[in-house]
Amino acid sequence: MPEDAQLLYNKVCQHARRTALLGSIEEVLGWDERTKMPPAGAEHRAEQMTLLSGILHQRRTDPDFGRRLAELSESPLAADPHGDSGTTIRRLKRDYDKRVKLPQSLVEELTRTAVLGQGIWQKARAENDFATFRPVLEKTIELKRREAEALGYPECPYDALLDDFEPEALTSEVTRVLAGLRDELVPLVGEIGQSGREPGVSILSRCYPIDRQEAFGREVASSMGFDFNRGRLDVTAHPFCSGLGPNDCRITTRYSEHSFASALFGIMHEAGHGIYDQGLRADQYGLPLGDAASLGIHESQSRMWENLVGRSHAFWRHYFARAQSRFPESLGDVRLDDFYFAINAVRPSLVRVEADEATYNLHILIRFELEQALLGGELAVADLPGAWNEKYREYLGIVPPSDALGVLQDVHWSGGAIGYFPTYSLGNLYAAQIFAQAETEVGPLDEQFARGEFQPLREWLGEKIHRQGQRYPAAMLVERITGKPLGSAPLIKHLWTKLGPLYGIG
Amino acid sequence: MPEDAQLLYNKVCQHARRTALLGSIEEVLGWDERTKMPPAGAEHRAEQMTLLSGILHQRRTDPDFGRRLAELSESPLAADPHGDSGTTIRRLKRDYDKRVKLPQSLVEELTRTAVLGQGIWQKARAENDFATFRPVLEKTIELKRREAEALGYPECPYDALLDDFEPEALTSEVTRVLAGLRDELVPLVGEIGQSGREPGVSILSRCYPIDRQEAFGREVASSMGFDFNRGRLDVTAHPFCSGLGPNDCRITTRYSEHSFASALFGIMHEAGHGIYDQGLRADQYGLPLGDAASLGIHESQSRMWENLVGRSHAFWRHYFARAQSRFPESLGDVRLDDFYFAINAVRPSLVRVEADEATYNLHILIRFELEQALLGGELAVADLPGAWNEKYREYLGIVPPSDALGVLQDVHWSGGAIGYFPTYSLGNLYAAQIFAQAETEVGPLDEQFARGEFQPLREWLGEKIHRQGQRYPAAMLVERITGKPLGSAPLIKHLWTKLGPLYGIG
């Protein structure tokens, strides 16, 4: 006897919510591991994680759950794919169908290879020795090819992998937008290099005592709207944001006494992620309507607060005097405009995580193009370092002096995360296009920022993005908000508008 | 077809280990809740804990597990109850049999009443209003009676509850030893009160900056042997020690700028627990041979380090100059002997957690006697405050001015922990008797302490206690180590030896 659709729906939601509750325990373990766990605790923690992920995998691939979802997807509750129940059914079914397509043996081999790969990569990077990393990367690429074949894809195998991070995105679409971006960025960066102007960035590496950096960072994050009653800020080597529950979002940063910008913009970046997390619907926790739309949309929130807000002239018209009073020895004699130029310096560099707002996307493009070529078989892993260096020469005009500063710099590929990189640039593109729309709907934003008012922007983002959850795929969400499909024009316009006057170009 | 005993044994151990692994995740959640969780995270954390404890309960009462244990207990592997496999089978079966004896409905009612009770108690204590606490305490006592009846007991219902904290201990035995202690302590405390001597305790409430207190506490804990590579020290309102894994033991303390003693002796106390945890056999993690013998034995380790080591004259012959150099403004003009007298001041007081080494046990005796009378029905909850005050007058010569400072001061009863209190005094008794034995086997300990050497004592404790796990019930363990059944003489002797000269009595 078929179960009543509403009853089925309730069961499916309850199952998903309990799975998410269990998954949130995994987040606690992960946060603790990265922030507080004593060094010798690592082995036992790995065992705890393995046990929990086994229980989670069972729940997520539970055949009853799958049967109910299949039945529901034929019911009237699924009729509107972007309605409340329709969204829930569509997204849960999507995730379930993906998970059960992967044979257990392949999942285990991927996991094992990722753990192994990260260990080998760490050593290879430390010793600047690509050759020892090559075999495990070859294995990874081969496994990811098998994964893509097992999952299936609309146009090309890369689609299947990209989908893990940016659901329903197509490689062809992403390529179109990123290629457009590249064609504008390369000449922009070139003109900046030829401009003959350079900001005095050394003011940013004067002495900034860490306790005062932290206090300033907390002040800024709070005024952005990050709620410390529902969150924390800690210190880690690699900053991140983690949601441990609907009212427990934790961000981290790292401090260096002689670097004003890295911790502050790091905090603003992670607080941007955190505000998205804290803005999700708590009543839908564990369900698609209470979950983030995609990694790209998540990154759009962090990049928007970091770059479009935090590196704006208006923001510092409010905050510069406050920064000066916290750091009088280092900023007392600095002019606002010199400071503003310094935090917006553009200069081709070798390392992605240290790149500026403009060149950052070129770092991503290089990785996006290379990983597609690796997966498609047009590029052999053995030829990867050479191809990497060639792209850096072509797009950024510089060549890494070593693989450690080149092809070995990022952790992603070693852990099997192929298809992740483009979400960073998608985040920048989404951010610029959404921000331009916010300007027309809640602006003038710069006047608000100059008064230290961030609530109007935050509330608008909450309504347009945070509380939408996964109702729409990212591309559709952006088009609904802005009235246009994603394009590179808003980001390019933002960069020219800001950098043109600073460098006297354009 | 009956399974081969060795195979059965392996399955049972694997089940128990996996259960412990899952249980250790509960410890992570609990530690985080008490130390780091943002305030608003409490509700979701409670849901995580409930989910996990449900999964744990299922595993711990799994009928297959019980059937295998029953079969094993008849096998040759269980022949020696204190051999490796015998200990494992005996203790696992014991825990299993206890758990399945309690009807699910009673467990749930106990849990619900405990949660409710703690909430009501907090409010009642804050408002000094025993009357609002009375109904839920009556309910708790009634439920605990039913629990005792369901579990069964050798001599009296209190045995069944005591067994949760001090397995295999008998109320009659504990009563015999504690009554002996009472008969010696009451006159000792009386004589001290009549001595006319009082140490200058105000030196301990001078200014001791918290960052330096923390550094000093870490130095002391490290030299005792607490391994920070396998542990942490954090700050909480209510200090505790929690084992999150075989190599991850975390202690906490609280600091007050105007209290030198509370944080330091708190750290030594928790580090004593921690050294026991870190000394358990990691290869037996999750099994009885890798678990602590009892709460009383655990407390013996914390009390030994706190009182028998930390409040000894020898310890401060090594550490006082170090403390002076860390706190020159507050200790520079203080003589070692005056400091030593101050940290060993004895004075009847109202609040257990602030009591000194001698009067502390009288606080416990009062609770032990009252909870037995409540459970046995000789004392009505309505008459508890009066009985409490009467006992304080009788044993300590003081009467609480309010129930908040009297019968409402402790959390234990509100959470259903009846039978817990005596483990504190058992800990003191075990500690004194074991320490006296250590003196004869690895002594002279005071000469070692005066040189800052704690390794000989720690290693002896490791061999005699930590690495024994649950091989012997606590009373048997102490008798094996010391050659005598537990008695009050060693503790009384220790107190007279220390306090006699200080107060000029005896």
Question: What residues of B are in the A interface, CB distance below 8 Å?
Answer: 18, 21-22, 24-25, 28-29, 32, 36-41, 43-45, 47-48, 51-52, 55, 227-232, 244-248, 250, 285
In angstroms, the CA A42 to CA B138 distance is 46
Confidence of residue B104 (pLDDT cuts 50, 70, 90): confident
Q: Report residue A495 as tokens.
A: 């960069």
At B3 the pLDDT is 66
Min Cα distance A30 → chain B (Å) is 11
> pLDDT tens, A139-163?
999 999 999 999 999 999 999 999 9
Min Cα distance B56 → chain A (Å) is 13
At B115 the pLDDT is 85
Task: Choose the closest CB to A229 out of B24, B25, B38.
Answer: B38
Min Cα distance B231 → chain A (Å) is 6
The CB density around residue A4, as the number of other CB atoms within 10 Å, is 10
Min Cα distance A433 → chain B (Å) is 34
Nearby residues of B10 by Cβ (< 8 Å), 6 or more positions away? none
CA closest to B26 among chain A residues: A25
Average pLDDT over residues A430-455: 97
Task: Choose the closest CB to A37 out of B29, B43, B248.
Answer: B248
Q: Which long-range contacts (CB under 8 A, 24 or more apart) does B57-63 make?
A: B57/B99, B57/B107, B59/B15, B59/B18, B59/B19, B59/B22, B60/B19, B60/B95, B60/B96, B60/B99, B61/B96, B61/B99, B61/B100, B62/B15
pTM of the model: 0.94
Residues from chain B that touch A41, judged by Cβ atoms under 8 A, are 230, 244-245, 247-248
User: What SS3 state is found at A250?
Assistant: strand
**Phi and psi at residue B30, in whole multiples of 5°?**
-70, -45
Please determine, for residue B11, whether its predicted confidence score (pLDDT) is greater than 80: yes
Q: Among A158, A240, A220, A181, which residue's Cα sits nearest to residue A430?
A: A181
In angstroms, the CA B130 to CA B124 distance is 6
Query: Active site residue: B33, B138, B166, B270, which one?
Result: B270
Question: Do B247 and A21 make contact, defined as CB atoms within 8 angstroms?
Answer: no
Pairing relation of β-strands B231-235 and B248-253?
Answer: parallel
At A104 the pLDDT is 87
Average pLDDT over residues A430-435: 98
Q: Among A506, A503, A438, which residue's Cα sits nearest to residue A193?
A: A503
Taking the domains of chain B in order of start, what are their residue ranges?
5-101, 144-506
In angstroms, the CA B485 to CA B483 distance is 7
Q: Among B381, B399, B372, B387, which residue's Cα sits nearest to residue B117?
A: B381
User: Tokens 């904290």 label which residue?
Assistant: B165
Residues B247/B230, Cβ–Cβ less than 8 Å: yes
Q: What is the CATH number of domain B144-506?
A: 1.10.1370.30
> pLDDT tens, B112-146?
899 889 989 999 999 999 999 999 999 999 999 99
Confidence of residue A23 (pLDDT cuts 50, 70, 90): very high
Task: Choose the closest CB to A41 out of B40, B43, B247.
Answer: B247
Question: Do A44 and B32 make contact, defined as CB atoms within 8 angstroms?
Answer: no
Residues from chain A that touch B21, judged by Cβ atoms under 8 A, are 44, 47-48, 51
Please determine, for residue B96, whether its predicted confidence score (pLDDT) is greater than 80: yes
SS3 of A315-347: the string is HHHHHHHHHHHHCHHHHCCCCHHHHHHHCCCCC
Min Cα distance B250 → chain A (Å) is 9
Question: Do B38 and A246 make contact, defined as CB atoms within 8 angstroms?
Answer: no
User: What SS3 state is found at B251?
Assistant: strand
Task: Choose the closest CB to B25 out of A29, A41, A231.
Answer: A29
Task: Kindly list the strands in the beta sheet with B241-245, ordered across the sheet, starting from the edge strand earlier in the chain.
Answer: B231-235, B248-253, B241-245
Question: Do A248 and B25 make contact, defined as CB atoms within 8 angstroms?
Answer: no
Q: Report residue A306 as tokens.
A: 């970091």
> pLDDT tens, B161-187?
999 999 999 999 999 999 999 999 999
At A1 the pLDDT is 45
Candidates A15, A52, A247: best to mutate against B (most CBs of B within 10 A) is A247
In angstroms, the CA B276 to CA B286 distance is 15
At A3 the pLDDT is 66
Please determine, for residue A112, whether its predicted confidence score (pLDDT) is greater than 90: no
Alpha helix ranges (H) inside A61-203: 63-72, 84-101, 104-126, 130-151, 157-165, 171-194
Residues from chain B that touch A246, judged by Cβ atoms under 8 A, are 44
Candidates A58, A248, A278: best to mutate against B (most CBs of B within 10 A) is A248
Average pLDDT over residues B62-85: 97
The CB density around residue A501, as the number of other CB atoms within 10 Å, is 12
Q: Indicate left, alpha or beta for A256 from its phi (over 0: left) and psi (-120 to 50: alpha).
A: beta
Residues A37/A305, Cβ–Cβ less than 8 Å: no
Q: What is the mean pLDDT of chain B?
A: 96
User: How many percent of chain A have pLDDT more than 90?
Assistant: 95
Nearby residues of B345 by Cβ (< 8 Å), 6 or more positions away? B198, B199, B201, B356
Active-site residue flag, B270: yes
Residues from chain B that touch A22, judged by Cβ atoms under 8 A, are 51
Residues from chain B that touch A37, judged by Cβ atoms under 8 A, are 248
Residues from chain A that touch B20, judged by Cβ atoms under 8 A, are none
Task: Please give the radius of gyration of chain A, using alpha carbons only, rounded to the nearest integer.
Answer: 23
Residues from chain B that touch A25, judged by Cβ atoms under 8 A, are 25, 29, 48, 51-52
> pLDDT tens, B343-360?
999 999 999 998 999 999
Question: Do A245 and B52 make contact, defined as CB atoms within 8 angstroms?
Answer: no
The CB density around residue B378, as the number of other CB atoms within 10 Å, is 10
In angstroms, the CA A194 to CA B362 distance is 84
Average pLDDT over residues B85-95: 97
Question: Do B51 and A248 make contact, defined as CB atoms within 8 angstroms?
Answer: no
Confidence of residue A71 (pLDDT cuts 50, 70, 90): very high
Q: Among B352, B336, B338, B323, which residue's Cα sits nearest to residue B260?
A: B323
Confidence of residue B2 (pLDDT cuts 50, 70, 90): low
Q: Report residue A217 as tokens.
A: 């960072």
Average pLDDT over residues B235-264: 95
Residues A251/A273, Cβ–Cβ less than 8 Å: yes
In angstroms, the CA A74 to CA A5 distance is 10
Confidence of residue A2 (pLDDT cuts 50, 70, 90): low
Task: Choose the closest CB to B21 out of A39, A51, A229.
Answer: A51
Residues from chain B that touch A51, judged by Cβ atoms under 8 A, are 18, 21-22, 25
Task: Kindly list the strands in the beta sheet with A231-235, ordered across the sheet, starting from the edge strand earlier in the chain.
Answer: A231-235, A248-253, A241-245
Please determine, for residue B439, whether its predicted confidence score (pLDDT) is greater than 80: yes
ipTM of the complex: 0.92
Query: Active site residue: A147, A166, A270, A306, which one?
Result: A270
User: What SS3 state is found at A452?
Assistant: coil
In the DSSP assignment, the letter for residue B241 is: E
At A506 the pLDDT is 82
Min Cα distance B402 → chain A (Å) is 35
In angstroms, the CA A141 to CA A121 distance is 15
In angstroms, the CA B173 to CA B179 distance is 10
Residues from chain B that touch A247, judged by Cβ atoms under 8 A, are 38, 40-41, 43-44
CA closest to A248 among chain B residues: B41
Q: Among A165, A241, A163, which residue's Cα sits nearest to residue A424?
A: A165
Residues from chain A that touch B41, judged by Cβ atoms under 8 A, are 230, 244-245, 247-248
Min Cα distance A244 → chain B (Å) is 8
Average pLDDT over residues A282-295: 98
Average pLDDT over residues B364-390: 97
Please determine, for residue A232, whether its predicted confidence score (pLDDT) is greater than 50: yes
Question: Do B44 and A232 make contact, defined as CB atoms within 8 angstroms?
Answer: no
Average pLDDT over residues A17-31: 96
Total CB pairs under 8 A between chain A and B? 97
Question: Do B230 and A40 make contact, defined as CB atoms within 8 angstroms?
Answer: yes
Consecutive H or E run containing A385: helix A384-396
Average pLDDT over residues A222-243: 96
The CB density around residue B261, as the number of other CB atoms within 10 Å, is 17
Residues B125/B45, Cβ–Cβ less than 8 Å: no
Confidence of residue B1 (pLDDT cuts 50, 70, 90): very low
Task: Choose the closest CB to B230 out of A38, A47, A232.
Answer: A38
SS3 of B128-173: the string is CCHHHHHHHHHHHHHHHHHHHHHHCCCCCHHHHHHHHHCCCCCHHH
Q: Report residue A354 as tokens.
A: 């240290």
> pLDDT tens, B264-321?
999 999 999 999 999 999 999 999 999 999 999 999 999 999 999 999 999 999 999 9
Candidates A244, A251, A252, A278: best to mutate against B (most CBs of B within 10 A) is A244
CA closest to B251 among chain A residues: A38
Confidence of residue A392 (pLDDT cuts 50, 70, 90): very high
Residues B348/B396, Cβ–Cβ less than 8 Å: yes
